[in-house]
Structure 1
Amino acid sequence: MSTPTSPAAAPPPPLAGGQLILATFAVALATFMVVLDSSIANVAIPTISGNLGVSIDEGTWVITVFAASNAVAVPLTGWLTQRIGQIKLFVGAILLFVLASWLCGLAPSLGILLFARVLQGIVAGPLIPLSQAVLLGSYPREKSSMALSLWAMTAVVGPIAGPALGGWITDSYSWSWIFYINIPIGLFAAFTVWGIYRHRETATRKLPIDTVGLTLLVIWVAALQIMLDKGRDLDWFNSTTIVVLGLVAIVGFAAFFIWEITDAHPVIDLSLFKGRNFTGGTIAISIGYGVFFGNLVLLPQWMQEYLGYRSVDAGLVTAPLGIFAVILAPIIGRIMPRSDARIMATVAFVFFAFCFVLRSHYTVYVDTWTLVLPTLLQGIPMALFFTPLTMIILSGLPPEKIPAAAGLSNFVRIFCGAIGTSIAGTAWNNRTILHHAQLTEVANPYNPTYEQSISGFQSMFGVPASTARAMFGLNVDNQAAMLGLNDVFWASAVIFIMIIPLIWITQRSKSGAGGAAAAGAH
């Protein structure tokens, strides 16, 4: 192994030719593997819950605990990189991710599965920011925008392919194979990356670890995530448990904030939020991702629970999201250096809102094409989402701040994805209850329309009145769930429009983020 002994050692030259292509593919596979696991379980939740004997609400923890633990681990990337080395850490994290995936597939109970998912999320923490850094270090500085665009394309395709692939695997084989699939992918990526990059290791040095800050971070993140996951089951703040978790999250965050701004070696460099570009870009991408990912979880659940779709069919409905995203990503990479990233991000948010407005008009009789169309169109703003906002976040930062900035922005974004999943599920449940109450208010023997509906069920299906009333009740359940989901879609559209001003508090970068990012990656 060749490891630089001096932090001032000159960075290795960019890769070229077939080696660059193979390296890009291997790094992209590692990124794809991680982001795939953030969504591949979405359509399998009903199956996993049924096989493990738990409710669907509890099954959703398989998604949220991965995102929360992943988010907590991301800020440690910078410290671990300097202690271990960029390439050793990257390859080691891939191999540990493979091991954790194997444990997920073997899990005989929800508790063991959640433990394995937490482990999987923790070791996945360094992979996303390191994949950016490794990829940027492989390309010439003038092509850094293209490198970021290729990375964004991979990050976009993972959540898109996840539901379709997860549905097909769950229906055709077993839900365990949605985790086993990582084993060959991870092993190939790890050995290829090591073979190409082992002589391009970064300098290492011993730095103190902020154990107090890390402990406080774990405490308030865990308390907040458990509160959001259990709130619906425990009737929110009518429960002592939820009140205690809320207080722990608030006090823990306050203590964490105070400690981090005063510690000499903080686990998270909160001073980055002094920059307008970093603050505006990070908040915009995080809220947008949280809204997007929360809806990505709800849509297949609704299709399976209320429309009768199989797992694979629900996954295929979300798959067209990747068509425009993949086609447009390289184009965005080419035009980005000559464009205003703020305009591109604004167009993305407006287009996201438009797609959610289309979805807010769904009915219980919605056909497959009506489900697919907004998903297909959503690929356009996805291509305009990650790269411009990443450029805004990193623009104007000195090279030595790039790793910390990438780690912190990814932490906030991933954690908002977990929060968005919990909030979207709770909002859907609450709006469904409200609409159900409103619909059943008029379902009584004194309402002629209600009696006509019951008579219609009796004559159409040849069933007694009691069965007809049960069928009517099932229809009300379906209508209430559909109306509740439409409310979530409408609110999502409004949120995307409301956060557009965050983009415009940032300044247009004169030199672009690409150069800084590339320098930081070296």
Structure 2
Amino acid sequence: MTTSVSSQSDAPADTRPAPQDSYPPLQGGQRLLGTIALSAAVFMNVLDTSIANVSLPAISGELGVSTSQGTWVITSFAVANAISLPLTGWLTMRFGQVRLFIASVLLFIVASWLCGLAPNLESLIAFRVLQGLVAGPMIPLSQTLMLGSYPREKSGMALALWAMTTLVAPVAGPLMGGWISDNYSWPWIFYINIPVGLLSAWATWMIYHKRESPIRKLPIDTVGLVLLVVWIAALQIMLDKGKELDWFASGFIVTLAVIAVVGLVFFVIWELTDKHPVVDLRLFAGRNFTVGALTLSVAYAVFFGNVVLLPLWLQTQMGYTATDAGLVTAPVGLLAIVLTPVVGRMLAHTDPRVLVTMAFGVFAGVSFMRAGFTPQSDIMTLLEPTLIQGAGMAAFFVPLVSLTLAGQPAEKIASASGLSNFLRITAGAFGTSISTTMWEDRAAMHHAHLAEHIATDSPAAGQALSSMQAAGMSPEQAMASINNMINGQALTMSAVDIFYGSAIIFVVLTAMVWFARPGKRGQGAPADAGGAH
């Protein structure tokens, strides 16, 4: 079935969605309702990347698995989402952007419902994979439809509204996840998507169904897609299972590593030679794209790894409830919400490298502040770096995307944006796995070092043991109590190591971004970056 729209007859025959300016901008109440509907879908999507973070201990406890195994709930969604992103262009041309967007929202609702019903970790991970796969087209298409709803001169306002949604969701996610986990049960972090998604899908169809893009049948790179799924899945499972199976002492891990490396090599060769590659790797020939995309990916991996680690540490070692952990992590978006419109206006006359350098400077400072955390840190000490980090977030994402897309020809912008988002989301999943694995590894090292100083013939240790036994503990109970204290201190020291390492990485990234060339003033500004999706 082909949708024919006379005003779109001159649309270019490429894999990008049809230009939204083929239709007149929406007016009045329709534009307001369309903005709310699209924003609600984006809110629901982004919320699901953060709402599970503070609920991991509750999910892990109820399903009878370790917290490190529970992180699969986050990484499975992120990897599946990354795999589906490069397919957005082909799916849009095959089904139309409005139909694809609404289908994505409705399938997301079904997947969310299944997640809430999951009886064990394996089924929950499977449904999270489904949720991530169907979520892929939602965010890029929401930007396309949002831009088409506003006149060109108000495209900045459209993208500011869109960006505000993506910043509010990470603020609300930890709060909602913590409150739901403490007062109800974890399945409700998924069930809340159902009413939001239904209203969004209904309103989007009512407003946009007559603004459909033309449909064209295009070949899909099946071999490339299979290779993409194989090497990413193998690498992710290797990262998640490595600690549990003692890394390369396990034949299973070695097999996964071989599959990942061989799959990646064949994927690169195939994509560089195929006529219709699922991922256009030739984009890496451009300096700005390479520097921008890699910088964005590394920074996001470190940022997201810390976002997952902090609430885990607060709940497992500091005795915080899920709600309290959410209150500590949620304010990260407050300054970002206030400053993002300001950064958007600055991009028109400021070198984006300057803004990104400022953002990384803030991130490095925040990481150094967190490297001073102790088990005695009060809530204000924990909150200060979180609040300050919001200023870095405002100058982090949009300028880096603008720099990545600067200088790209119009026909390459969609591919560049898709590949950049793919790298970023995949890096976020890897950052989660690496940070949690390092946390456990370094905690074991610190535990061994601390235990060396707690020998029974040590005067201080002997006095502590004597005091505990005098209080009614058996010798075994006293030793277990001391071991628990050592373990808590070791995990805190390990978290501090990761925060300190994160600070160093951000300092290095401030230099890396300057290898990119600045575009012309206004080139790659937010309007262009948004349209790229």
Same fold? TM cut 0.5: yes
Partner of 2:5: 4
The question of 1:486 aligning with 2:513 is answered no
The question of 1:506 aligning with 2:516 is answered yes
The question of 1:372 aligning with 2:383 is answered yes
**Conserved 8 A contact 2:3-2:214:** no
Q: What is the letter of the counterpart of residue 150 of structure 1? A: L
Q: Post-superposition shift, 1:330? A: 2.1
Partner of 2:445: 434
Q: What is the letter of the counterpart of residue 502 of structure 2? A: S
* Total equivalences in the alignment: 520
Partner of 1:117: 128
* Aligned residue among 56, 60, 63 for 1:49: 60
Partner of 2:288: 277
Q: Distance in 2 between matches of 1:96 and 1:7?
A: 31
**Conserved 8 A contact 1:42-1:163:** yes
Partner of 2:15: none
Q: Distance in 1 between matches of 2:440 and 2:180?
A: 28
**Conserved 8 A contact 2:339-2:391:** yes
**Conserved 8 A contact 2:171-2:334:** no
Q: Distance in 2 between matches of 1:465 and 1:432?
A: 25
Q: Distance in 2 between matches of 1:39 and 1:229?
A: 19
Q: Distance in 1 between matches of 2:517 and 2:142?
A: 27
Q: What is the letter of the counterpart of residue 263 of structure 2? A: G
Partner of 1:87: 98
- Superposition CA RMSD, Å: 1.8
Q: Distance in 1 between matches of 2:303 and 2:436?
A: 13
* Aligned residue among 325, 328, 346 for 2:357: 346
Question: What is the TM-score normalised by the length of structure 1?
Answer: 0.95
**Conserved 8 A contact 1:163-1:318:** yes
Q: Post-superposition shift, 1:160? A: 2.9
Partner of 1:497: 507
Bigger mean CA deviation after superposition, 510-519 or 230-239: 510-519
Alignment CA distance shift 1:195-1:394 (3 Å): farther
Alignment CA distance shift 1:303-1:517 (3 Å): closer
* Aligned residue among 393, 407, 410 for 1:399: 410
* Aligned residue among 478, 482, 493 for 1:468: 478
Q: Distance in 2 between matches of 1:131 and 1:277?
A: 26
Partner of 2:337: 326
* Aligned residue among 76, 79, 86 for 1:75: 86
Q: Post-superposition shift, 1:392? A: 1.3
* Aligned residue among 417, 430, 433 for 2:428: 417
Alignment CA distance shift 1:212-1:408 (3 Å): same
* Aligned residue among 360, 376, 379 for 2:371: 360
Deviations 1:206-242 (A, max 9, x none): 1100000000000000000000010010000111100
The question of 1:235 aligning with 2:235 is answered no
Q: Distance in 1 between matches of 2:57 and 2:426?
A: 23
Q: Post-superposition shift, 1:298? A: 1.0
Q: What is the letter of the counterpart of residue 506 of structure 1? A: A
Deviations 1:8-51 (A, max 9, x none): 24711333433333322221211111111111111111111121
Bigger mean CA deviation after superposition, 41-50 or 212-221: 41-50
Partner of 1:226: 237
Task: Among all aligned residue pairs of Structure 1 and Structure 2, give the percentage whose two residues are the same amino acid.
Answer: 53
Alignment CA distance shift 1:383-1:53 (3 Å): same
**Conserved 8 A contact 1:157-1:325:** no
Q: Distance in 2 between matches of 1:394 and 1:14?
A: 25
Q: Post-superposition shift, 1:322? A: 1.7
Question: What is the TM-score normalised by the length of structure 2?
Answer: 0.94
**Conserved 8 A contact 2:85-2:421:** yes
Alignment CA distance shift 1:157-1:119 (3 Å): same
Q: Post-superposition shift, 1:482? A: 0.3
- After TM superposition, the structure 1 = structure 2 runs for residues 60-459 of structure 1, keeping only pairs within 5 Å, are 60-458=71-469
Deviations 1:191-218 (A, max 9, x none): 1222222222112211100000000000
Secondary structure, counterpart of 2:347 in structure 1: helix
Q: Post-superposition shift, 1:457? A: 4.2
Q: Distance in 2 between matches of 1:335 and 1:2?
A: 41
**Conserved 8 A contact 1:93-1:124:** yes
Unmatched 5+ stretches in structure 1: none
**Conserved 8 A contact 1:69-1:122:** yes
Q: Distance in 2 between matches of 1:332 and 1:66?
A: 30
Secondary structure, counterpart of 2:51 in structure 1: coil
Unmatched 5+ stretches in structure 2: 12-20
**Conserved 8 A contact 1:141-1:518:** no
**Conserved 8 A contact 1:213-1:260:** yes
Alignment CA distance shift 1:391-1:146 (3 Å): farther
Q: Post-superposition shift, 1:516? A: 4.0
Q: Distance in 2 between matches of 1:463 and 1:378?
A: 45
Q: Distance in 2 between matches of 1:24 and 1:280?
A: 33
